[in-house]
Amino acid sequence: MSIKRIMLSGYFGFDNAGDEAICEAMIQSLKALEPNLEIIVLSGNPEKTRDRYGVEAVNRTDLAAIWKALRKTDLFISGGGSLLQDKTGSLTIPYYLGVIHLAKLAKVPVAVFAQGIGPVEKPMFQKWIARLFRSLAYVSVRDSDSRKLLLDWGVAEEKIDQVVDPVFLLHSSGEERGRQLLLAEGIDLKKPPLLLSIRKWKEGEGDFDVFAQLCDRLVEENEEIVFLPFHYPDDLNASIDIVARMKKKAHVVQGSYSPSELMDMVSVGKMMVAMRLHALIFAAARQVPCVGISYDPKIDAFLHLINEKAAGYSGSLDPDQLYVSVKSVLGQEEKAKQDLQTKAEQLKDLAMRPANKVMELIK
């Protein structure tokens, strides 16, 4: 049997830990099913992607190079992540749908892999997505909200496979490796820390003061605080800003790390407080209790999946409510861990389904 080739399209090569975790988890899950599989990744930094994952990589804006690679490709995968939304810009959806059209022009079957759909405000984009998705070989979404949007736009129910984010499958070396990485950062912990993964959001100008107040109160109660940036360097700058507003001491992880290394560091934590979706997913996958702050429907959708609700919303955070939410989880830490362990095992099985489906397509 000839060696099969798959092309992956996503927000890869931009030092966003969540999207890099998706890329790595997709590669791991596909290679687990077919070790000889050849994978080509469309990347914003092809050299870094090649070095990090040991795959072929093509510049995501080099249409000639993409076309050349497509001519030798057996399957094109769009996903995962929140690719199809128009909140971060009007060119995002045309780009991702455009490369799908390019794959179809090359007569390459297309699969959508555990995507989070929306928000999509423009009706023309909604119609474009629905029309294109109806013609694809396989469509999977990572949450019920994404499924509902596609149904509302006219995609048939039987066409949509509702799964979960592939990052639940990401390999981790565990706590010991996480401690070593933190120690190399100069963070010598006496106890498991409270982890924070915070981003700056345009509607949350006052959020940083709230996080600073929260951390000061927790440090006064003898907790150790570690800020863990997930998008480098933006989240690093946000973390430094919050620590500068604090009266007490907190640690900030300064370096840029691979998804697996970040997951190792998450394993060390006693709890995760996060605005970043994949910080919450990493925590759940490693059975670390978490508190989510929402700035986007994808946060709420994930928290619903693990039977939780947002502790607040960016731009309207209440410091007392956030503190009570954190203390509530800390007060039942062991139960929260047990609940996550049961849930994580279920979700890992579901996360593997898109990989199995796409491998069936090319076999």
Cα 279 vs. chain centroid, distance in angstroms?
7
pLDDT at residue 39 in the model: 98
pLDDT at residue 37 in the model: 97
User: Which ranges in 83-134 belong to alpha helices (H)?
Assistant: 92-105, 123-133
Are both 5-163 and 175-347 of the same fold? yes
SS3 140: strand
Instruction: Please give the DSSP secondary-structure letter assigned to residue 113.
Output: E
Q: Give the number of C-alpha atoms closer than 13 A to the C-alpha of residue 296, restricted to the C-beta side.
A: 23
Distance of alpha carbon 272 from alpha carbon 259, whole angstroms: 16
Q: Which is it for the CA torsion 58, 59, 60, 61, positive or negative?
A: negative
pLDDT at residue 222 in the model: 97
pLDDT at residue 117 in the model: 96
pLDDT at residue 204 in the model: 67
CATH (residue range 175-347): 3.40.50.2000
**Strands 251-252 and 225-227, bridge-based pairing:** parallel
Domain boundaries, the chain: 5-163, 175-347
Distance of alpha carbon 163 from alpha carbon 143, whole angstroms: 7
Distance of alpha carbon 323 from alpha carbon 196, whole angstroms: 13
pLDDT at residue 87 in the model: 86
SS3 6: strand
Contact 94, 132 (CB under 8 A): no
- pLDDT, averaged in runs of 10, over the chain (363 residues): 91 95 96 96 98 97 98 96 91 97 98 96 97 98 96 98 95 94 96 96 84 98 97 94 97 95 97 97 95 94 93 94 96 89 88 96 89
Domain 5-163 has CATH 3.40.50.261: no
pLDDT at residue 1 in the model: 58
pTM: 0.91
Q: How many CB atoms lie within 10 A of CB 257?
A: 20
